[in-house]
Amino acid sequence: MVSIRIRSLVKRFDDVVALDHVDLDIAGGELFFLLGPSGCGKTTLLRSIAGFHLPEEGTIHFDDDEVTKTPPHKRETAMMFQSYALWPHLNVFRNVAFGLEERKVSKTEIRDRVNEALEMVKMGGLGNRKINQLSGGQQQRVALARALVVRPRCLMLDEPLSNLDAKLRIEMRTEIRRICKEFGLTAIYVTHDQKEALSIADRMAILDSGNIAQIGAPEEIYRSPHSALVAGFIGETNFLPGTLDGRAGEGRYRVTTPLGVFEGRQGDPGHVAAAGMRVLLSIRPECLHLQAEDPGMNAIAGTLNESIYLGETAQYSLASEEGEIRISELNPRRVVRDTEQRFYAVADPEDIVILPDSPLP
């Protein structure tokens, strides 16, 4: 179990700054996710930690050891790739054993460690199978066993489940978390799948143009985004521009918008709020509910123009003066289908997040 400390890390590719003075701390035994839009620097950061990219500036420490310029094979890490990168001409056992053979481990120890790794990923007894005889999920487990068998200080995962179908993705992400926690592994996981990150991460970092936009536990990131980019990237949300009027009570502020007056809370408690400041409101679809009466505050008026029933949820589209408002009602007992009728989408102040004004993502 290794902790990782990164300070002022800079990585450039010609004139492109992929990482811009990144600072990051990952605790030993933590399952840490890197997320962000394409080109934000998450894979570059992962590959820099693994040693595949040499940064121009900054330092990387594993515990107290600086590894900034240490070659990948001496960092005692293991990487799982999106493509699995299994050898088709080798059977399951030999694929898993490959890294140990390269390290000149004895045959007896290789046998014991490979069998142990296959048991860990629930592939025991399948060592003689050919790779082309395995399902996608089984191939993923072999790739995981191959990474684990070398007993890495840190496990790196780069979009490891993107080639699997939805059911297998859910099964494997649960399995990855189980193994990491059971064996005390520090793991860094790159994905574009928000559900994947929200469901199994201990903490996550959202990257934007080579910088870290926000770090926190999944519920912190989702419930209290610090910016429009984070709010729009993690889950769905409705944005509404407004002007801050001032405080409305403990931890709350009043905001005037083109659609009325709202009370909400700041996503970033460290952001200095002042009356007259331009802001953005972020309201998640599941935080809104429809009603026919005007409550006078925290309500968006509009005409219902679409209703979609999905069993566990009902999704609505409300046409307001500021554009479409998305509403998602959980466990609906009845579905509102009165299109062209005027309704109000209402939210509690605790569910309205006030963000600094910025261009929408």
Full 3-state SS string of 54-93: CCCEEEEEECCEECCCCCHHHCCEEEECCCCCCCCCCEHH
Can you give the pLDDT at residue 31? Answer: 97
Can you give the pLDDT at residue 273? Answer: 82
Can you give the pLDDT at residue 264? Answer: 96
**Structure-block tokens of residue 181:** 């926690």
Can you give the pLDDT at residue 82? Answer: 74
User: Locate tokens 């993502």: which residue?
Assistant: 361
Please identify every stretch of the chain with a pLDDT value under 70, giving residue numbers as ranges.
none
Can you give the pLDDT at residue 208? Answer: 95
User: Locate tokens 């536990």: which residue?
Assistant: 217
Q: Which domains does the chain have, with CATH numbers?
A: 4-223 (3.40.50.300), 228-356 (2.40.50.140)
- 343 by DSSP, 3-state: which? strand
Pick the closest to residue 232 from 159, 309, 304, 326 (CA basis).
Answer: 326
